[in-house]
Amino acid sequence: MQIPLVDLKAQYQALRPEIDAAIAAVMAEAAFVGNVSNPFVRKFAEEFAAFVGVKHCVPCANGTDAIEILLQAAGVGPGDEVIVPAVSWIATSEAVTTVGARPVFADIDPRTCTLSPEDFVRKITPRTKAVIPVHLYGQPADMDPILATAKDRGLFVLEDCAQAHGARYRGRQVGTIGDAASFSFFPGKNLGAYGDAGGMVTNDEALASRARMISQHGQGKGKHDHQIEGRNSRLDGIHAAVLSVKLKYLAQGNARRREHAAHYLRLLANTGLTFQHAPATDYHVYHLFTVQVARRDEIVAELQRDGIGVTIQYPRALPLLAAYASRGHEPADFPAAAALTARVLSLPMYPELTVEQIEWTAKRLREAVGV
Ligand SMILES: *Cc1c(COP(=O)(O)O)cnc(C)c1O
């Protein structure tokens, strides 16, 4: 049985008439570029802000730009340090460097795999200006202690929600908890466009208008009124129209992902395997369903030979990547991140996954592990 990690073709087939009509409408209007007057972009931004439960959504070109622009809008730059978790996609730390600041890595909590609130405190210095908790794999970071520390130290809190559209932390939607949040609408995310796309959300009006200005060449009130030098980071009309269609199915897709995760967990119970801890108070949206195993690389190769789209997110902790070799970090500096990245693998996960596919994957995993 061939089982992909993510099946975007199945999703397109399910929504095809609506998506085709949405794209045709953009073509008919020639509303291609996401400038302020694009009705498709404005509509999606309003819908997404309402979905998250925030006052402002500023769309942009991708999730990496969203982090970068929000940091810049918050005044983070050269001389500043920004604390990021040791396990994430490199975009989280890369965006800190791009604005001229220095990413400082903190270890993860070994159970939830998200930023350790204790190691975050330990990594604060007089130069620390912000923290970027990442809601990894769809599980919200432990925001209450992180916020308490940030408030106490006057730090800007930017939630990286790229893997967690619609997730909730103790009843609160991710994206509403910190000072601002970044989303990616990369095709494979829980809410994905048909190319690169991203968005920034916040309740802070001044921050939103600075972010909007930066993303549109520093444009002020009208055309050719450039208040500052900004950049070009816009959401295209076609992506906005696709996202408006897909947003209607996001909650349902997340609910399906949770059912699939529960089914995997039932089938893999009493095997001694380790799973990401998902506190019952939170709503994990399973962008990825991960399992931690010994002999990970052998097991991944065996399942891949079987046609099961197992992958590794991520095989190395961020501070141990070649990109950060100059820091001289060692695995012992981030014991929980090093342990997770040595053992973690991701099983196929997407709303259209079938019960047969889940059962086959779980059976083959048990056989490969020998439990
Ligand atoms: C995908 C992702 C990003 C970056 O989003 P892009 O749209 O690919 O630029 C940032 N952070 C995390 C945790 C991600 O998974």
Selection from 253, 21, 66 nearest residue 175 by Cα: 66
pLDDT digits (tens, 9 = 90+) for 330-341: 999 999 999 999
Kindly tell me the burial class for residue 223, based on how many C-beta atoms sit within 10 Å of its own C-beta (0-12, 13-18, 19 or more): exposed
Q: From CA 197, how far away is CA 327, in angstroms rounded?
A: 32
Instruction: Ligand 1 pocket test: pick from 163, 234, 243 the residue with the most ligand atoms within 8 Å of its Cβ.
Output: 163
- Residue 38 CB less than 6 A away from ligand 1: no
- Residue 196 CB less than 6 A away from ligand 1: yes
pLDDT surpasses 80 at 277: yes
Cβ proximity of 358 and 264 under 8 Å: yes
Residue 253 DSSP class? H
Q: From CA 85, how far away is CA 132, in angstroms rounded?
A: 8
Q: What is the mean pLDDT of residues 55-67?
A: 98
- Residue 92 CB less than 6 A away from ligand 1: yes
Q: Which atom of ligand 1 is nearest to the CA of 198?
A: 7
Q: Which atom of ligand 1 is nearest to the CA of 184?
A: 7
Categorize the per-residue pLDDT at 299 as very low, low, confident or very high, splitting at 50, 70 and 90.
very high
Instruction: Ligand 1 pocket test: pick from 64, 174, 189 the residue with the most ligand atoms within 8 Å of its Cβ.
Output: 64
To the nearest 10 degrees (0 to 180), the angle between helices 355-369 and 296-305 is 130
pLDDT surpasses 80 at 44: yes
Share of the chain above pLDDT 70, in %: 100
Strands in 102-106's sheet, in edge-to-edge order, are 56-60, 198-202, 180-184, 156-160, 128-131, 81-85, 102-106
Instruction: Ligand 1 pocket test: pick from 92, 135, 158, 159 the residue with the most ligand atoms within 8 Å of its Cβ.
Output: 92
Mean pLDDT of the chain: 97
pLDDT surpasses 80 at 36: no
pLDDT surpasses 80 at 368: yes
Categorize the per-residue pLDDT at 28 as very low, low, confident or very high, splitting at 50, 70 and 90.
very high
Strands in 274-275's sheet, in edge-to-edge order, are 274-275, 289-292, 344-347
Categorize the per-residue pLDDT at 262 as very low, low, confident or very high, splitting at 50, 70 and 90.
very high
Q: Which atom of ligand 1 is nearest to the CA of 91?
A: 10
pLDDT surpasses 90 at 1: no
Categorize the per-residue pLDDT at 257 as very low, low, confident or very high, splitting at 50, 70 and 90.
very high
Q: What is the DSSP string of 162-220?
A: TT-TT-EETTEETTSSSSEEEEE--TTSSS--SS--EEEEES-HHHHHHHHHHHBTTB-
Preceding peptide of 314 cis, ω within 30°: yes
Only one residue has tokens 């309402």, namely: 50
Categorize the per-residue pLDDT at 34 as very low, low, confident or very high, splitting at 50, 70 and 90.
confident
- Residue 160 CB less than 6 A away from ligand 1: yes
Q: Which atom of ligand 1 is nearest to the CA of 196?
A: 7
Q: How many residues does the chain have?
A: 371
- Residue 134 CB less than 6 A away from ligand 1: yes
Q: From CA 14, how far away is CA 218, in angstroms rounded?
A: 40
Q: From CA 317, how far away is CA 339, in angstroms rounded?
A: 9
- Residue 233 CB less than 6 A away from ligand 1: no
Instruction: Ligand 1 pocket test: pick from 184, 196, 346, 349 the residue with the most ligand atoms within 8 Å of its Cβ.
Output: 184
- In the three-class reduction of DSSP (H, G, I as helix; E, B as strand; rest coil), residue 128 is classed as strand
Categorize the per-residue pLDDT at 124 as very low, low, confident or very high, splitting at 50, 70 and 90.
very high
Q: Name the phi and psi angles at 250, rounded to 5.
A: -65, -50
Partners of 168 in beta bridges: 173, 283
Which pLDDT score, from 0 to 100, does residue 222 have? 83
CA of 136 to the centre of ligand 1 (A): 11
Categorize the per-residue pLDDT at 75 as very low, low, confident or very high, splitting at 50, 70 and 90.
very high
Q: From CA 308, how far away is CA 301, in angstroms rounded?
A: 10
CA of 115 to the centre of ligand 1 (A): 16
Which pLDDT score, from 0 to 100, does residue 35 have? 75
- Greatest Cα-to-Cα distance within the chain, rounded to the nearest angstrom: 66
pLDDT digits (tens, 9 = 90+) for 219-256: 988 889 999 999 999 999 999 999 999 999 999 999 99
Q: Which atom of ligand 1 is nearest to the CA of 186?
A: 7
pLDDT digits (tens, 9 = 90+) for 170-216: 999 999 999 999 999 999 999 999 999 999 999 999 999 999 999 99
Only one residue has tokens 């910190």, namely: 178
